[in-house]
Structure 1
Amino acid sequence: MVPSPTDEIDHYKVLDLPSGEEGSRLTADQIEKAYKTQSRLRHPDKRPDDPNATADFQLLRASYDVLRDEQSRRAFDATVRARREKEVRDSARDGKRRKLAADLEERERAAERGEPLDADEIEKRREKSVAKELKRELDAFLNRNVRRSEPASAAASASASTSRGENHDSPEEKSNKERILKVSWERSLGEYTATRLREIFQKFGKVDDVVIRTKKSKSKGTALVVMSSRDAVMAATRSMCGDVTNPLLVLPLQTSSDGPDGFSAPFAEANDEPRISKIVGAGFSDYEASILKKLQQANKNKPAQ
């Protein structure tokens, strides 16, 4: 009896051939050659002491009959592809199940510690922890740059001041940071490319660079936009933060409090603090640092006036 293409038998493997996509590309001559080789090796006359020799040889012949017929072979190849696609889907579902199990275990541990069981509260705490760690890494990066550019004694003083919570950005670093905008958006409302973001922000001034975050979130997109001047950053932030219909969340990387021409303290409190957590996420620290490094290198390469 010839097995049907839907049987759980890999006819390529029965003939000792590669299976899957590689098997589907084999020629009829290659299949026939493999069958002749296997039939010589596995013929019952060659295995008189093997009680399964006859059944094995019949299976070999049945698999060959399936693969040498063009129509039945196409049907079998389609079945193999369907099986593999199912395995991929099952693997993805298993991953989701493992995440659900991990979340459940976390809630159970929180309950044992007397913490709230609400999943949203647990996620908020996790995001807060990630944001704190990213801020620590960015501060460490900036402090390392300060120490490299100052004499040893000044670096020691900067380190001591940092431990007391003071901010000692160099004028160049402060200027660079004030030229950078953090931008985020909900993917459900649309997607933004570097080209599209450049078009949007060019109306506020020259755009030096746009970096889309490479480690993408399924729900949120994020980017850094480097403007040519702090005035352009001010114009973009004031305009887009005041537009309630704007789908982009636009925040300066670093606000300035230089008076009426800069971002005043009330403006920063009203726009930056309540919403900044929406744009902070894993990976942001790395490419903030890379953007600052590019700006510093560009400043060094400028010809002397």
Structure 2
Amino acid sequence: MAAMGQEEDDIDHYEVLCLPSGEEGAALTIEQIEKAYRTQSRLRHPDKRRDDPNATADFQRLASSYKLLRDESLRRQFDARLRGRREAAARAAAAGVKRRKAVSDLEERERAAAAGQPTNPEELAKREMKQKAADIERELEEFRSAKQAAPSGAGATSAYGDKKGGASQDGVKTDKGKILKVSWDGSADSYTAAKLEKLFQKFGEVEDVVIKTRKSRSKGSAIVVMGTKEAALLAIQNHFSLFPLNVAPVQESGGLPARSTQAHESRTSNIDGAGFSDLEASVFRKLQEAQKRKQCG
């Protein structure tokens, strides 16, 4: 119900009759408008609202809005004014979003500059990729330490939780070519060690599966140790059969044939990790390519 004292141009006559406004209101028939008026007249008549000092003015507004809406010419003009209001509001909202985004970006750059952090997008991308490489290396070291520290046949507990356990000999350094980094969207609880073992057994023997205990609300990860390099390579080449899992090699330069790495990269553009020794070079190469595309564009 419109408030008393509103300017005429600010009144929504559909709302006065308790009808939907906007495009839905413009599609209403005269019969629907008349029915709404009769209903509101019975409810809002001054004789039924003797204690309300605004009852008479409200009823007069109801009658005035009804008179306008049943006149086709006046109604078309009013619908046009409503569309203009909505479009102006949408433009103002969009401008407000852009203004807030610009202010937020400026504040973020100022905070980064004050903290001595790079503000250039390319520098930020380099730092992010380096951090990703460091995280993978750290996870692999934790995995090795857990396996070497665990007694024979026991599961690792120092940095990881759910584990297949005990397939490979403790204290023996595992060939990186057999180790796979697996990640997925969702928490670590989305996949158990037993479930991952069953999924990867289609490519060959699985020696070990270790799932991180740090529960992330957005992403989970695990280390899968295959029985052979060939089995690991087969899992990488056919990773698409494991969707939505992401499978990445954890290996030193030269651990797998060049053709296998190329095949893997050609099929996946969003896989974490690219080998510790050549990851940084890969990052810089991608950044250079992105810069060239930007200059050509």
Alignment TM-score, normalising by the size of structure 2? 0.47
Alignment TM-score, normalising by the size of structure 1? 0.46
Greater relative contact order structure (CA < 8 Å, 6+ sep) = 1
